Amino acid sequence: MGRPPCFEKYGIKKGPWTPEEDIILVSYIQQHGPGNWRSVPTNTGLMRCSKSCRLRWTNYLRPGIKRGNFTDHEEKMILHLQALLGNRWAAIASYLPQRTDNDIKNYWNTHLKKKMNNNQSNDNNHEDVDSEGKTRSQPLKGQWERRLQTDIQMAKQALSEALSLPQNPTTFPQEMKPSSSFSHENHPPNAHINIPSPYASSYENISRLMENWMKSPNSSAETIFSNNMQVTTGGSSSSEGAQSTTQDHHHYHLHRQALDSDLFSFNNSTKSDSASRFRSTHEENDSLTKEGLDLFHQEKRKINMETHVPLTLLEKWLFEDGVTTTHHECNEDLINMSLEESTSDFF
DNA sequence: AAGGGTGCCAACCGCCAAATC
DNA sequence: CGATTTGGCGGTTGGCACCCT
């Protein structure tokens, strides 16, 4: 037999998400936590498939997501991890908790792939032009990959070199270190993320939105949203959402910024300590519900049991798996090499 | 100013493994 | 144990915004 058929076959809506839909989804996740996506469309009335809801949450609405330009360091990490793991964007994204796999994939396809091609075409001179037009030496890119493919011993050495990135503790966010990347106990997710926000001046509006939202969790999202954000919602079809005015876009970004607020500090429970964030943020919130606490304890137990493995193990798994699947012809020596040793400088 | 080309990115598609009945 | 659903992943696409001529 199998599972009962899901509701989502009827009248599935596609296309860009509207602010109203976002509000509904976030509101639901706020109450029930991420997961059990099958029930989300049914319980919220969203005419979206569960898959779409999950993607919207993980790629856009989930708090703690860093958007905008990739830093030089992030770019290097992506390049190195891509060389190690191949196009396993989810695995790569697990090393960059603030970035989504979709984000990294897009960045790779639009920027890095091009850059790699340029590097290969300019192979003879080991110089590269960065985004600011400045010339800098790039001895690792390309060279590292070629050496990896040709000689295991050389590859070992090259890997060590590649992983020995320039040490710059001041520019390396705390949460990106593996030992702490899954621990935000004392750090609200956005507290130390330096987002160049054009919406800072509207912080009060956001605060009001969140305040009212928390006070009236049962009121309709549309009412809350229209009262606080004054967004023209109209018919709220996807096409209309996509055709909103510039002002609407501005408000939409305010809304988006609000969703990033610490008040909703869940994280994807399969990849990080959503429970820790959930607790740390909700403990500071007077409107914390008993339901929320129960959820937190459930989440924490689940995470402790299933997903919160030491990162060194995760690294090993990623490394070994990546090597065995992408470079299986030369995997033995690489597997024998201790990743912890070779990455000690990397992080 | 207009039209075509290009870049970017959110969202979709299809596949697969795991879970469930 | 097989059928079915769900969740996750990587690849791809559609449409908007920007740039160039």
Q: How far is the CA of A72 from the C1' of B1 (A)?
A: 39
**Which chain B positions come under 7 Å from a protein C-beta?**
7-14, 19-21
Asked if A91 contacts A318 with a C-beta cutoff of 8 angstroms, the reply is yes
Check if residue A67 sits with its Cβ under 7 angstroms from strand B: yes
- Higher pLDDT: A344 or A67? It is A67
Q: How far is the CA of A108 from the C1' of C18 (A)?
A: 20
Q: Give the closest nucleotide to A54 (alpha carbon vs C1').
A: C7
**Which chain C positions come under 7 Å from a protein C-beta?**
2-12, 15-17
pLDDT the model gives residue A34: 80
| Residue lying closest to nucleotide B6, CA to C1' | A110
pLDDT tens, residue by residue, A112-160:
877 776 666 665 444 333 333 333 333 333 333 333 333 334 334 444 4
- Using CA atoms, how far apart are residues A288 and A165, in angstroms rounded to an integer? 43
pLDDT the model gives residue A104: 92
Q: Give the closest nucleotide to A53 (alpha carbon vs C1').
A: B11
Average pLDDT of chain A is 53
pLDDT tens, residue by residue, A16-27:
898 888 889 888
pLDDT tens, residue by residue, A54-79:
899 988 888 888 888 888 888 888 98
- Higher pLDDT: A100 or A268? It is A100
Q: How far is the CA of A289 from the C1' of B12 (A)?
A: 36
pLDDT tens, residue by residue, A244-293:
334 444 444 445 454 444 334 333 333 333 333 333 333 333 333 334 33
- Higher pLDDT: A110 or A198? It is A110
Structure tokens belonging to residue A33: 């936590």
Strand C contacts (Cβ < 7 A) comprise A 1-6, 8, 35-38, 50-51, 54, 87-91, 101-102, 105-106, 109, 239, 242-243, 249, 270
Check if residue A60 sits with its Cβ under 7 angstroms from strand B: yes
Q: How far is the CA of A340 from the C1' of C11 (A)?
A: 32
Q: Which long-range contacts (CB under 8 A, 24 or more apart) does A244-253 make?
A: A250/A199, A251/A19, A252/A19, A253/A198, A253/A199
Q: How far is the CA of A169 from the C1' of B21 (A)?
A: 52
pLDDT the model gives residue A147: 35
- Using CA atoms, how far apart are residues A88 and A86, in angstroms rounded to an integer? 6
Q: Which residues of A165-193 are buried (b: 16+ CB within 10 A; e: fewer)?
A: beeeeeeebebbebebbbbbeebbbbeeb
